[in-house]
Amino acid sequence: MSEISRQIGFIGLGVMGEPMCRNLAVKSGRRVCGYDLNPVPLERLSAHGVIRCGSIREAVIGSDVVFLCLPSGEAVHDAAHAADGLLAHIEAGQLVADLSTSSVDVTRQLQKEFAARGATFIDTPIARTRAAAEAGTLSVMVGADAASFEKVRPLIETFAEEITLCGPVGSGQVLKILNNMILFHNVLVLSQAKKIGEHAGVDSMVLFETLAKGSADSFALRNHGMKAVLKDDYPLKAFSVRYARKDLGYARQLAKSAGIDDDTARKIDTLFAQAIEAGDGDRYWPVISRLM
């Protein structure tokens, strides 16, 4: 493992980024410099030793590794190409790790652009919930070469318990996008099962608890079915319908490039659109269950 320098940059301190940055600062023993357009999370993080940066430039200069946790691949692209953005200040030897869920095409194009400056760009998208981010038990899917993976793994271990090298750059995004596509499908089926069971006179709590004891048990059932769908609880400031639809769009792009019929994904996309039209676009995405 190569030695990691005095500073780590962290750009994007939203729902997932803030707890990851906090765990990184508390557990890594390194100086962590955070940047976000919203000053509120920076105020909270300062109590845990995170240094406030006033710009992307400040987060990049002097950092051996810079983590990004932004809302979309488009946001990552913009942060890289802004006049005062990442590519304007990145130097040879620095590494940028994208924790966001971005499109594979954007990720691989950025790899080339950073490489042209002697820097490294890898994808490290995250899976699991806000609670897992708080607890430091996320799953991270890495697209990188072996040397880059070994460089960032000790840092990622501060906020994740499962870290998988999935292949070359872009592979982490492929795995994350397909992970979310499958999750969306599972929650759709659980929502349908709940409605069918209710119509047939079965209590929904009994239904889900019994499914959890059989071959239908799943992460989706225990974390999305029981905690959201069953309780009809879809808070704000969670992984929203808008974000979920963005990720599903990336999956549909991959399906199209592979010549795969994505009929179920198309149905879910329609539900996401209906939820947004109904005013629930910023609610936790399993709110599509209400549309059953």
pLDDT tens profile 231-255? 999 999 889 999 999 999 999 999 9
pLDDT tens by residue, 16-46 = 999 999 999 999 999 999 999 999 999 999 9
Q: Which residues are bridge partners to 240 per DSSP?
A: 284
- The whole-number pLDDT of residue 1 equals 32
Give the residue from 136, 168, 200 where a domain finishes.
168
- The whole-number pLDDT of residue 150 equals 97
Which residues contact residue 25 at a Cβ distance below 8 angstroms, ignoring those fewer than 6 apart? 32, 45, 48, 49, 50
Asked whether the CA dihedral 96, 97, 101, 107 is positive or negative, the reply is positive
- The whole-number pLDDT of residue 77 equals 98
Q: Using DSSP, state whether 280 is helix, strand or coil.
A: coil
Q: Specify whether 131 is located in the same domain as 147.
A: yes
Domain holding 60: CATH number?
3.40.50.720
User: Is 25 part of a structural domain of the chain?
Assistant: yes
245, 271 contact by CB (below 8 A): no
Cα–Cα distances (Å) from 63 to 11, 37, 43, 153, 214, in that order, read 12, 19, 21, 16, 49
Domain holding 239: CATH number?
1.10.1040.10
Positions in the chain short of pLDDT 70: 1-5
- The whole-number pLDDT of residue 3 equals 46
- The whole-number pLDDT of residue 2 equals 41
The helix or strand, by DSSP H or E, that contains position 21, with its residue range, turns out to be: helix 17-28
Q: Specify whether 286 is located in the same domain as 180.
A: yes
Give the residue from 106, 136, 168 where a domain finishes.
168
- Closest among 183, 190, 184, 191 to 292, alpha carbons compared: 191
User: Is 2 part of a structural domain of the chain?
Assistant: no
User: Is 1 part of a structural domain of the chain?
Assistant: no
pLDDT tens by residue, 60-73 = 999 999 999 999 99
Q: What is the pTM of this model?
A: 0.92
